[in-house]
Homo-oligomer: A and B are copies of this chain.
Amino acid sequence: MKMLINVAETVVADALRGMAAAHPELTVDVENRVIVRRDAPVAGKVALVSGGGSGHEPLHGGFVGPGMLAAACPGEVFTSPVPDQMLRAAAAVDSGAGVLFVVKNYTGDVLNFDMAAELAEEEGIQVAKVLVDDDVAVRDSTFTAGRRGTGATLFVHKIAGAAADEGRPLEQVREIGHRVVERSGSFGVALSACSTPAKGSPTFDLPPGELELGVGIHGEPGRERRPMMTSREIADYAVDSVLGDLRPRGPVLLLVNGMGATPLLELYGFHAEVQRVLAERGVVTARVLVGNYVTSLDMAGASVTLCEADEEMLRLWDAPVRTPALRWGV
């Protein structure tokens, strides 16, 4: 598999140098792998810190900025960052109001963020945590105990980030972040495998003419493989999988997310099919986002994330945000 890289060993550091040069509004510590909004710490405000393996860009570094994350810690590709990165991030952004760790539910991330939380508290930083486990496809896999964390991470970043921006105390910011997770569900499909720089070839084997239903964002196995399906059939399967778990009684936030290599032309067409199924099931979308936000390197495919949003969550969703990947109202 050809890649636009120098060598696998420097892929993350190279990308961080490129981010630093593209986004002067961020402070990028390439050596220690921490991305911080330049004006941190912000007096009196709770600070959100997230992170995870690289390869899911723009998640998480692309969501650092006013209204979302105060800092992000990128690990090696598909590998959890280490506690030292998280501790550095927390220390850089804590204003005294405390830090919220937003953690996708993968074994390594959970362990490392827990360890970082202990270390931070030893240093006098108040820490709370939201665990994101929105992927309805499978429970308990080689990567995680419980469900995997995927698209809802973006919703938590945005909504809890806006709550922090309003100056709410740590416990309230944690509570609304947790509420977002409880009301969210995601389902992903892969049309092709992804290739990590270290391996240099596809991380799993997906035969021509088949797709993986319920795939994870690292290419983890899903529910089943089937002969290739149409956009309409995939939308039916994905939306019904989410609705089988989440039963929204009100309007939802919808994320139709590209895995990385699926053209935007196809993604918009898929979104039309997702809207059709939702309408058939009586679900109304209050807000919609279509694009590549939580990717899996060069995987072709898409995921659907729904979040049942109350008035407060919608208001926080609409609040101003200014990050490399999400920006409105400012």
Contacts of A209 in B (CB 8 A): 2
Mark the stretch among A105-113, A121-129, A255-263 that contacts chain B. A255-263
Per-position contact with B for A1-31: 1 when CB-CB < 8 Å, else 0? 0111111001110111111011000000000
Question: CB < 8 Å: which of B21, B260, B269 contacts A4?
Answer: B269
A142 contacts chain B at the CB level, 8 A cutoff:
no
Q: How far apart are the CA atoms of A302 and B5 in the complex, in Å?
A: 12
Question: CB < 8 Å: which of B2, B14, B264, B301 contacts A268?
Answer: B14
Mark the stretch among A51-59, A96-104, A242-250 that contacts chain B. A51-59
Assuming the contacts A11-B265, A264-B57, asked whether A2 and B288 have C-beta atoms less than 8 A apart, the reply is no
Q: How many copies does the complex hold?
A: 2
Q: How far apart are the CA atoms of A111 and B93 in the complex, in Å?
A: 56
A95 contacts chain B at the CB level, 8 A cutoff:
no
Contacts of A261 in B (CB 8 A): 260-261, 298, 300
A318 contacts chain B at the CB level, 8 A cutoff:
no
Min CB distance A319 to B, Å, is 15
Contacts of A273 in B (CB 8 A): 6, 14
Question: CB < 8 Å: which of B11, B55, B290, B328 contacts A269?
Answer: B11
A79 contacts chain B at the CB level, 8 A cutoff:
no
Min CB distance A298 to B, Å, is 6
Contacts of A58 in B (CB 8 A): 264
- A288 touching B191 by the CB < 8 A rule? no
A37 contacts chain B at the CB level, 8 A cutoff:
no
- B271 touching A2 by the CB < 8 A rule? no
Q: How far apart are the CA atoms of A16 and B265 in the complex, in Å?
A: 9
Which 8 residue pairs spanning A and B have beta carbons closest together? A14-B269, A18-B268, A18-B271, A57-B264, A18-B272, A261-B261, A17-B272, A15-B268
Q: List 11 A-B contacts (CB under 8 A).
A: A2-B191, A2-B208, A4-B234, A5-B269, A6-B273, A18-B256, A18-B268, A19-B268, A55-B263, A261-B261, A264-B292
